[in-house]
Structure 1
């Protein structure tokens, strides 16, 4: 593992930060890809101070030239990529409806803050699909080339449990993550003869900067949506970023050398629960 280079996109996200630190503790060399270099370098310094190896590289997952530049820098400083974690992703407010269900009264409501299905913005929806799907495809095009001909290489995508069953209010995000899961399976087959495994993890509800206001009130109590989620989660809690580390280590390790094309839920049983 000490010789393996892990490239992580979206490295400054709440979940990927923990993955970067955890992988570095196990001896992997970490390449942090992000747009905000100050924060990325701070994280790299933290990892290095703890005895790990990490460097920050500036890149935008939707701009191929920046990914190519980052690849050259990584190859020079750390060596070629062995494992790619496609962690960049997210939602956008203009691809989200205000209510879970459409009512006839919504169509005559003058509240400018109310967003129905008919108000969804095309640009916002396209942004969500670009960030999640193209933001997974483009880095894979750039970094998977360096994996061909080597042993123990893999791609790990970050999907979502909303890819199995779409969540209310977020049609763009649910659809985009379903595309990521489908692409994971397609790519696993496509790369199977080249010795590259491709898998995905599908996190359930984890508290992140993007969803905290949707799940918790300012006082820290559960919102109605937060209550609905916990009631649907057999383990009765939100996920902690550390909950993703074990499955990530497994899928990156040669212990999973015959595992490819799977999307593994990490959701406290949310996807398995029928509600009764």
Structure 2
């Protein structure tokens, strides 16, 4: 199990205050990592206490990742308070549901700023630190809509297709420098982003009928894949988009 041991590593997780980000942060801490919890408006004090109770260090950083001017501070604060960056998880994301013909440019831009532009900048900033130290793990959160078109979410779909491409591009450049860049594509998970779908009895049934596992994903389903991609167990993986979807993509 030493392959999965993250003791002494430091991880930065965006969107860590709730949902998938919270689960990933806790999973990495349970595997031994110290963590920087990046949140916008959602408090992470309870999560910080839960992590410190495990004997790990945890800090909270408030930042709107959609604002480029706030991104360097995430890296600076982590280095100042935790000393290094070994793992970056780009989890923060937003979605705007509007038919394409009515999708405003403001919604389009806001989604891309959070889901794509912030990811590139944080990869670049953290990547420089990782390249200098000769090691690092970057995990971008993709989506089933990195492969499919979806309905009424053109901005989100464009951003998640781009995340898959960016993950591969950075993997190509940084593999030989000791930095692994991969992505997780969650399937239909029980989160705020899917609340509208889960509350729609017709759409929810359509989705469940296609998932071989027969259920929506739970937050804890993200822990194992995240630890795997953050640890030495995945040292020969680069540019891969790992589907955690109950089998959705097989159908």
Query: TM-score, normalised on structure 2?
Result: 0.92
Equivalent residue number for residue 132 of structure 1: 115
Equivalent residue number for residue 12 of structure 2: 7
> 1:151 Cα deviation (Å)?
4.5
User: Which runs of 5 or more residues in structure 1 are unaligned?
Assistant: 98-116, 218-222
Equivalent residue number for residue 169 of structure 1: 152
Whose Rg is larger?
Answer: 1
Equivalent residue number for residue 174 of structure 2: 191
> 1:135 Cα deviation (Å)?
2.1
Q: Is the 8 A contact 1:204 1:265 kept in 2?
A: yes
User: Which runs of 5 or more residues in structure 2 are unaligned?
Assistant: 1-5
Give 1:1-276 correspondences, 5 Å limit: 1-36=6-41, 39-93=43-97, 96-97=98-99, 117-216=100-199, 223-273=201-251
Q: For 1:30 and 1:22, how far apart are their aligned partners in 2?
A: 11
Q: Please, which moves more after superposition, 154-163 or 136-145? A: 136-145
Q: Is the 8 A contact 2:71 2:118 kept in 1?
A: no
Structure 1 residues 65 and 122 mapped into 2: Cα distance closer, same or farther (>3 Å)?
A: closer
The structure with more helix, counted as a fraction of residues: 2
> 1:140 Cα deviation (Å)?
1.2
Q: For 2:218 and 2:106, how far apart are their aligned partners in 1?
A: 32
Q: Is the 8 A contact 2:29 2:54 kept in 1?
A: no
> 1:118 Cα deviation (Å)?
2.0
Q: How many equivalent pairs are there? A: 246
Question: Relative contact order (C-alpha < 8 Å, sep 6+): which is higher?
Answer: 2
Considering only aligned residues, what root-mean-square deviation do their CA atoms show, in Å? 1.6
